[in-house]
Structure 1
Amino acid sequence: MKEYKTKEQKLKFYKSKEWKQLRLKVLERDNYECQECKRNGLVYTDNHNPDKHKRLDVDHLKEIENFPELALDIDNCEVKCVKCHNKKHNRFKFKKKNNKWNDEKW
């Protein structure tokens, strides 16, 4: 079984023909809509643009480094917008903006 522990292993996987084909199938299955936004009553779509670096990602529900056997399992994948995908992986600190003033003073 293949491993996807290192950055190089993951990069090779995500550039593979098999992944690119699966990714398109997942985008089509999920109607090019972020499934996380959809669960929260929002709709986020990218007008059927399958280009990887636009606004939609295909996310592994169970990460390939921990579950390499599910790397190409369509049931382990779903479409997420870049914002939801980054939030899931804690890539950026999602902080609420502080007001410039204290509402209690008003």
Structure 2
Amino acid sequence: MPEYKTKEQKVKFYKSDKWQALRQQALERDNYECQECKRQGRVYTDYHNPDKHKRLDVDHIKEIETHPELALELDNLQVLCVWHHNVKHERFAKKENKWNDEKW
């Protein structure tokens, strides 16, 4: 079973033809809509987006680092907007308050 622990292993996986085909299947299945936005009653779509940067990611529900056997399982994928994907993976830096005074 392949491992996806190093950056090189992940890059190779995400550039593979198998992943690209499966990613497209997930986008089509989820109608090019962020599934988390949908759960919250909003619609966020990316179908035929003319922008240079993608707005949707295909996310592994169970991460490939810990569940490599599910890396190519369509049922383990969900489409998320870049915002929700970053929230899921806690990619936003937390800003510290530089002021240490009390509020009035």
Q: Distance in 2 between matches of 1:78 and 1:48?
A: 19
Please state if 1:88 is matched with 2:88.
Answer: yes
- Decide whether aligned partners of structure 1 residues 44 and 32 sit closer, same or farther in structure 2, where only a CA change above 3 A counts: same
| Structure 1 runs of 4+ with >4 Å offset | none
In structure 2, the partner of 1:43 is 43
In structure 2, the partner of 1:13 is 13
How far the C-alpha of 1:40 sits from its partner, in A, is: 0.7
User: How many residues were matched structurally?
Assistant: 96
Unmatched 5+ stretches in structure 2: 96-102
Q: Distance in 1 between matches of 2:72 and 2:12?
A: 14
Q: State the AA in 2 paired with 1:18.
A: K
Unmatched 5+ stretches in structure 1: 96-103
TM-score, with structure 1 as normaliser:
0.83
Q: Distance in 1 between matches of 2:86 and 2:72?
A: 21
Q: State the AA in 1 paired with 2:34.
A: C
Q: State the AA in 2 paired with 1:75.
A: D
In structure 2, the partner of 1:32 is 32
TM-score, with structure 2 as normaliser:
0.85
User: What do you get for the CA RMSD once the two structures are aligned?
Assistant: 2.1
Q: Distance in 2 between matches of 1:47 and 1:30?
A: 11
How far the C-alpha of 1:14 sits from its partner, in A, is: 0.2
